[in-house]
Amino acid sequence: MSKLWTFTMFLCDVNKWTRRIFRARFLTNDAFLALLPSTFANPSNSTPPQSWQRQNRAMMSAVSRCKGFYLLLSLAILCNLSHGALPKLPGTALVQRFIKGRQADPRDHGADIASSEEDFHQATAPVLAEDIAEAIKPPRRRKRDVVRSRFGKIRAAVFPIENKECQKFFMMSGMMFFIIYVYTVVRDTKDTLIVSTCGAEAITFLKVYGVLPASALFMILYAKASNVLGKKALFYATSVPFFLFYAAFCTLIYPNRAHLMPHIDAQAGGLGFLVSLVKNWDYSLFYIVSELFGSVGVSVLFWQLANEIIKVHEAKRFYPLFGQLANIAPIAAGQTVVLSAHMTDPASKDPFLKSIQLITVFIMISGAAIMSLYRGITGLVEREDAAALAVGGETSASTTAVASKRKKKPKMSLAESFKFLLTNKYLGCMAILVVSYGLAINFTEVMWKSQVKLLYKDKRKYQQFMGNYSTMMGATTFIVIFFGSQIVKRFGMKVGALTTPAMLGLLAAPFFGYIVFGGISSTGASSPKALQTAVWVGLVQNILSKSIKYALFDPTKEMAYIPLGQEEKTKGKAAIDVLAARIGKSGGALLQQAIVLFFGNIIDGAPVVVGLFYIVIFAWLFAANSLGNQFEEVSKNK
C-alpha cells in the first residue's frame, strides 16, 4: 500500500507541475483526486454510474477541456485496478472531508465508498465545479509578474515571446538572418580581394576616398526618395540595386576584368596604395558596395522596419533575441566562404571564378528570401492594423496608437535634417555612439588584418581564415547575445549602452600590449610563432568586440530610436546609421593615414593609436550615460 500511496502522490506532483507550466489549464490536486474515488471505487463497473453522468454532465464537459487530464487519470486507473480498490488518500482535503463525514474504515475501500456515492457527489460537486471553473479561467496577475506568469520562469528567461507574436518575430528574425548572411559573405570576399591584392593599408584609403563619398551620396538619394516613394517602394528601391550589382559583378565585370582593368604601372610609397586601388577598380567597387550594404542592409532595411512595427513594450523582449537567432547567419556564411575557397583551382587561369559564382548564387537566393519575408511582414502588419480598427473603433486606445504610428508628418529637407541632427542633444549622443564605435573598431581591425596578411600570404588560405573567423564570430555572438539580452531585460537600456565601450576598452588592452611590447613590426615578427600569437590574440579581441557590439550596442541603439517621432526615425536614422557610421570608420582611416605618413607604417605608430583609442572610449562612455538618462526620461513621457 505504501508503494501505491507513493505512486499516487507522484501523480499529484505531475499534475501540480503541469498546472504550473501551462498556467491554469489543469485541475488542482484536490479536484484531481476527488474524481478518483467516485469513478473507480467499484472496479467491476466499466463505466461511471448514471447518477454521476446525470449530476455532473456540465462538470465533465469542463473536465474534458483540461488538456492532459485523462492521461494522468489513466495512470491512476491502472494503479487502482491492480489493487482491486482505491485506498485512502491522506492529505487531500476533499477525500479527507468525505471519509471523516462517513466515518469510513481505511481498510474497507469498496462498499463503504460505493454506498455513499450520492453523499460524496453532493458534498464535492460544488467545490469541484468551482475548482474546474477556476482552472479554466485565466488567473489574475500582478503587474510586476506579468511576463513571468505569462510564459513561466524558464520561458520568460529564454524565449519571452507570446504565441500570437511568434509569426511576426520569426519572420523578422529570418529577414535579419539573410541580411547578415549576405553581408558576412561579401565582407569576407571584399577583404580577401583587397587585402591580398592591394594590402591591408589600402583599406584606410578606400574607406576615406571611396566609402565615405558613396555613403554621403546614398544619404542624399535616400532622403529624396523618402519624400517621393511609399514605404514599400522605398524598401525595394533601396535593396534591389545591391543584388543587381552582385549579379552583374559575377556575370559581367569579374569574368572580363582582364579587358576592363587599366594598365597602370605600380608605384612605391603611400601613393602606391591609391594606384593599386584604381588599377583594381572592380575590387574597389565591390568593396565600396559591400561596405555600404553593411550599413544600409542592417540599419536601414531591417531596423527601420522593426522600429515601425514593434512597440516599446515588445522591444525589450524582441530586440535582444533578434540577434540571438539571426547571428546564426555568420556561422553559415563563414562556411560558405570556406567552401568557395576549397573550390578554387590554383592551376586554372582564374582561380577565383568558381568561388565568385558560388557566392553569388547564395547571395541571390538570400535576396529573394529577404523580399518574400518583407512582403509577408508588411501584409501581417496591415492585417493587424485592420483588425485593431475593426475591433477598437476610432476612439479606442489601440486604434489611436495604430493611427498615430502610421500618421504621416511633414517632411524635412536634407539641410533641415542635418541641422536637426546637430541641434538635437538626443540624436547628437546617438551620433557620438556610432562614430565612436567606428573609430574604435577601425583602430584595431586594420592593424590586425595587416598581421593576418603577413601570416597568410596566399589568397586561398587568407579566404579560408576569414571564413573560419566569421564562423567563430557567429558562434561566439550566439552565446554572448544570450547574456546581453539578460543585461538589457534586467538592467535596462542605459546599462546595456555603457557595457559596450567598457568591454571594448578592456578587450583591446591585451592586443595593443602584445603589439607594442611583443616585438611585432610592419615586416613581421621576430619569429613565426610570435606573428601567429599576435594574429590569434587579435582574433579573440575582434571576435569578442564584435559579439558584444551585436549583443548590446545594436539592440540598445535601436531601442533609443523608439520614443522618437516618425520624421526623426526616418531621416535621423539614415543620417546617423549611414553617414555617422562612415564618418567613424573613415575618420579612423584618416587618422591612421596620418600616422602611416609620419611613422612610415601603422605598427610603429601603435602607441599613438592606443592613446587615440582610449580617448574615444572615454567619450563613448560619456555619451552613452547621457543618452541613457535621456531615454529614461523620454520613455516616461510616452
pLDDT tens-digit profile of 576-597?
Answer: 766 677 677 778 888 888 887 7
| Average pLDDT for the chain | 72
Most confident of 12-26, 198-212, 483-497, 571-585: 198-212
Q: Are 585 and 207 in contact (CB under 8 A)?
A: yes
Q: Is the pLDDT of residue 298 over 60?
A: yes
Q: Are 571 and 223 in contact (CB under 8 A)?
A: yes
For residues 220-237, give the mean pLDDT.
88
For residues 217-230, give the mean pLDDT.
88
Q: Give the model's pLDDT for residue 158.
A: 65
- Secondary structure of 516-579 as H, E, C letters: HHCCEECCEECCHHHHHHHHHHHHHHHHHHHHHHHHHHHHHHHHHHCCCCHHHHHHHHHHHHHH
Note the pLDDT tens digit of each residue in 152-183: 666 666 666 777 777 888 888 889 899 999 99
Of 55, 63, 87, residue with least CA distance to 15 = 63
Q: How far apart are CA 113 and CA 39, in angstroms?
A: 11
Q: What is the DSSP secondary-structure string of 392-427? A: H-TTSHHHHHHHHHH---PPPPHHHHHHHHHH-HHH
Q: How far apart are CA 560 and CA 319, in angstroms?
A: 12
Of 16, 62, 48, residue with least CA distance to 120 = 48
Q: What are phi and psi of 141, to 5 degrees?
A: -125, 145
Q: What is the amino acid identity at position 393? A: G
Q: How far apart are CA 239 and CA 370, in angstroms?
A: 9
Higher pLDDT, residue 37 or 527: 527
Q: Is the pLDDT of residue 482 over 80?
A: no
Higher pLDDT, residue 360 or 43: 360
Q: Give the model's pLDDT for residue 65.
A: 44
Q: Give the model's pLDDT for residue 178.
A: 93
Q: Give the model's pLDDT for residue 30.
A: 53
Strands 520-521 and 524-525, sheet pairing: antiparallel
Q: Give the model's pLDDT for residue 317.
A: 75
Helix axes 93-102, 29-40, angle to 10 degrees: 50
Q: Please give the grid coordinates belonging to residue 531.
A: 606573428
Q: Are 605 and 595 in contact (CB under 8 A)?
A: yes
Return the bridge partners of 521, or none: 524
Cα distances (angstroms) measured from residue 169 to each of 298, 322, 380: 16, 8, 11
Q: How far apart are CA 308 and CA 566, in angstroms?
A: 8
Q: How far apart are CA 593 and CA 424, in angstroms?
A: 32
Q: Give the model's pLDDT for residue 416.
A: 60
Q: Are 173 and 185 in contact (CB under 8 A)?
A: no
Q: Is the pLDDT of residue 5 over 90?
A: no
Q: What is the amino acid identity at position 168? A: K
Q: Give the pLDDT band of residue 211 (cuts 50, 70, 90).
A: confident
Q: Running DSSP on this structure, what letter comes out for residue 169?
A: H
Query: How many CA atoms, within 13 angstroms, populate the side-chain half-sphere of residue 460?
Result: 15
Q: How far apart are CA 617 and CA 612, in angstroms?
A: 9
Q: Is the pLDDT of residue 289 over 90?
A: yes
Range scoring the smallest mean pLDDT among 288-297, 372-381, 600-609: 600-609
| CA 549 from centre of chain | 12
| 597 CB burial (10 A radius; 0-12, 13-18, 19+) | exposed
Q: Give the model's pLDDT for residue 129.
A: 37
Q: Please give the grid coordinates belonging to residue 223.
A: 532622403
Cα distances (angstroms) measured from residue 477 to each of 327, 471, 473: 7, 10, 6
Q: Please give the grid coordinates belonging to residue 199.
A: 594590402
Domain spans of the chain, in order of start: 2-139, 163-399+413-637
The highest-level CATH class for domain 163-399+413-637 is: mainly alpha
Q: Running DSSP on this structure, what letter comes out for residue 86?
A: P
Q: Give the model's pLDDT for residue 525.
A: 55
Q: Is the pLDDT of residue 94 over 50?
A: no
Q: Are 570 and 414 in contact (CB under 8 A)?
A: no
Q: Give the model's pLDDT for residue 401.
A: 45
Reduce the DSSP state of residue 177 to 3 states and report it. Answer: helix
Of 298, 268, 289, 288, residue with least CA distance to 203 = 288
Q: Running DSSP on this structure, what letter comes out for residue 599?
A: H
Q: Give the model's pLDDT for residue 406.
A: 44
Q: Please give the grid coordinates belonging to residue 366.
A: 538570400
Q: Give the pLDDT band of residue 246 (cuts 50, 70, 90).
A: very high
Q: Give the pLDDT band of residue 107 (cuts 50, 70, 90).
A: very low
Q: Please give the grid coordinates belonging to residue 501.
A: 565601450
Q: Is the pLDDT of residue 489 over 50?
A: yes
Q: Give the pLDDT band of residue 397 (cuts 50, 70, 90).
A: very low
Q: Is the pLDDT of residue 607 over 80?
A: yes
Most confident of 228-242, 384-398, 521-535: 228-242
Q: Give the pLDDT band of residue 362 (cuts 50, 70, 90).
A: very high
Q: How far apart are CA 220 and CA 216, in angstroms?
A: 6
Of 458, 444, 435, residue with least CA distance to 351 = 458
Length of the chain counted residue by residue: 638
Q: Give the pLDDT band of residue 399 (cuts 50, 70, 90).
A: very low
Q: Angle at Cα 594 formed by Cα 592 and Cα 600, nearest 5°?
A: 90
For residues 344-355, give the mean pLDDT.
76
| 275 CB burial (10 A radius; 0-12, 13-18, 19+) | middle
pLDDT more than 90, % of the chain: 14
Q: Is the pLDDT of residue 542 over 70?
A: yes
Range scoring the smallest mean pLDDT among 185-194, 236-245, 564-573: 564-573
For residues 215-238, give the mean pLDDT.
88
Q: Is the pLDDT of residue 16 over 60?
A: no
Q: Give the model's pLDDT for residue 89.
A: 37
Q: How far apart are CA 585 and CA 439, in angstroms?
A: 5
Of 32, 50, 48, 38, residue with least CA distance to 112 = 38
Q: Are 341 and 352 in contact (CB under 8 A)?
A: no
Alpha helices by DSSP H, 43-92: 50-55, 57-64, 69-83
